[in-house]
């Protein structure tokens, strides 16, 4: 695993724009019921800064950088989703953009190791959440929400499965995606309950704080992703 000191020196300065834009978002804090171009820009800026973070860690067409490219693509679609969700009339399109973003994350994480038991457990939780929300779903959401839950559950499964707790395979790539995926699922759960079940106090703070923490966890995973993939290939050979 890359040393903590090395990671901090490498990651810290490049995350300053993200930290600053998150601070600006919460300081200005335009309520979600007052959508505007400004609120859209403020919401998207932290994700844009994470895109730049990924780009600064290397990006080309070589196979060893495919992880970073997929994480970047996921961030791009999530950013589009962020912009669309500001406007209530485009909530369904925003959800579609996030679905594509999660698919890109799944492609980055891969399916090795598989860990079927973990997958079955997480899908059972996803079904439980769906059954809880189902009576309040109408129109396009009766199809969109089940698809979204399936996709984000798959993303959560693949992210957690990458961390093999009883083997010497702890890397920032795997730990970052594991923590990030859990926070992403938590953020979306809070958002779904607030939209489809009942109003939650301070929902915007809860959703956005967990969401930004989730995305930075996933973005930081590119720091040693290349070396991790090369190590995995070396072990196979």
* Range 163-172 contact pairs with CB under 8 angstroms and sequence separation of 24 or more: 164/113, 170/1, 171/1, 171/2, 171/224, 171/228, 172/1, 172/2, 172/7, 172/220, 172/221, 172/223, 172/224
Domain count, the chain: 1
Indicate the pTM of the whole model.
0.92
The predicted structure's pLDDT at residue 25: 98
Residue 162 CB partners (closer than 8 Å, separation 6+): 109, 110, 113, 173, 174, 177, 178
Query: Residue range 142-152: average pLDDT?
Result: 98
Q: Which domain holds residue 25?
A: 4-236
Q: Residue 86's CB: how many other CB atoms inside 10 A?
A: 21
The predicted structure's pLDDT at residue 11: 81
78, 101 in Cβ contact below 8 A? yes
The predicted structure's pLDDT at residue 234: 46
């Amino acid at each position: 695993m890359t040393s903590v000191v090395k990671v901090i020196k490498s990651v810290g300065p490049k995350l300053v724009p993200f930290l600053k834009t998150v601070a600006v978002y919460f300081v200005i804090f335009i309520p979600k019921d007052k959508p505007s171009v400004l609120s859209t820009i403020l919401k998207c800026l932290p994700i844009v800064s994470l895109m730049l973070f990924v780009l600064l860690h290397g990006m080309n067409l070589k196979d060893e950088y495919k992880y970073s490219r997929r994480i970047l693509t996921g961030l791009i679609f999530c950013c589009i989703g962020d912009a669309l969700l500001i406007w209530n009339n485009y909530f369904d399109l925003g959800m579609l953009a996030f679905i594509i973003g999660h698919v890109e994350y799944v492609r980055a994480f891969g399916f090795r190791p598989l860990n079927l038991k973990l997958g079955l457990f997480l899908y059972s939780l996803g079904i439980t959440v769906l059954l809880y929300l189902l009576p309040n779903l109408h129109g396009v959401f009766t199809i969109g929400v089940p698809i979204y839950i399936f996709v984000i559950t798959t993303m959560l499964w693949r992210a957690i499965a990458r961390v093999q707790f009883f083997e010497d395979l702890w890397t920032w790539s795997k730990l970052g995606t594991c923590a990030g995926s859990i926070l992403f699922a938590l953020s979306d759960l809070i958002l779904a309950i607030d939209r489809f079940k009942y109003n939650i106090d301070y929902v915007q703070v809860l959703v956005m704080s967990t969401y930004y923490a989730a995305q930075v966890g996933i973005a930081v995973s590119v720091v040693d992703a290349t070396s991790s993939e090369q190590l995995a290939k070396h072990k196979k050979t």
